[in-house]
Structure 1
Amino acid sequence: MLTSFGKFCRKLRIDNGELLKDMANKLGVTSSYLSAVENGKRNVPQSWVKKISSEYSLDLRQIKELKNATEESQFKSKLDLKDLNNNDKNLMTALARKINGMNDDEKVIIKNLLNKKK
Structure 2
Amino acid sequence: MVTEYGKLLRKIRIDHDEILKDMAGKLEITSAYLSSIENGNRPIPINMTRTIVAEYDLDDLMEGKLFAAEDSIRKNVEINLNTANQSQKTVVLSLARQFEQLTDEQLEKIRQILEE
TM-score norm. by structure 1 comes to 0.63
Contact 1:24-1:34 at 8 Å conserved across structures = yes
Structure 1 ranges of 4+ moved more than 6 A = none
Structure 1 vs Structure 2: percent identity of aligned residues? 41
Change (3 A) 1:116 1:16: closer
2:2 is matched with 2
Residue of structure 2 equivalent to 1:12:
12
SS at match of 2:40: coil
1:53-68 to 2 correspondence within 5 Å?
53-68=53-68
TM-superposition CA deviations, 1:56-107 (whole Å, max 9, x none): 1111111111101111232x314889559xxx79xx7xxxxxxxxxxxxxxx
CA apart distance, 1:39: 2.1
Q: Distance in 2 between matches of 1:115 and 1:82?
A: 18
Deviation at 1:114, TM superposition (A): 6.1
Question: Which runs of 5 or more structure 1 residues have no equivalent in the other structure?
Answer: 93-112
Q: When the two structures are superposed, what TM-score results if normalisation uses the length of structure 2?
A: 0.64
Which 5+ residue runs of structure 2 have no aligned equivalent? Answer: 80-91, 106-116
In the TM superposition, residue 44 of structure 1 has moved relative to its aligned partner by 1.0
Distance 2:28 2:104 in 1: 44
Residue equivalent to 2:69: 69
- In structure 2, C-alpha distance between the alignment counterparts of 1:56 and 1:116, rounded to whole Å: 32
Q: What displacement does 1:31 show?
A: 0.7
Deviation at 1:40, TM superposition (A): 2.3
C-alpha contact 1:27 1:52 (8 A) present in aligned 2: yes
Root-mean-square deviation (Å): 2.8
Judged with a 3 Å threshold, the aligned counterparts in structure 2 of structure 1 residues 9 and 116 are, in CA distance, closer, same or farther, namely closer
Q: Could you say which structure has the greater relative contact order, defined with CA pairs below 8 angstroms and 6 or more residues apart? A: 1
* Alignment-derived partner of residue 31 in structure 1: 31
Aligned to 2:83: none
Q: How many residues matched?
A: 91
- Are the aligned partners of 1:44 and 1:73 in contact in 2 as well (CA < 8 Å)? no
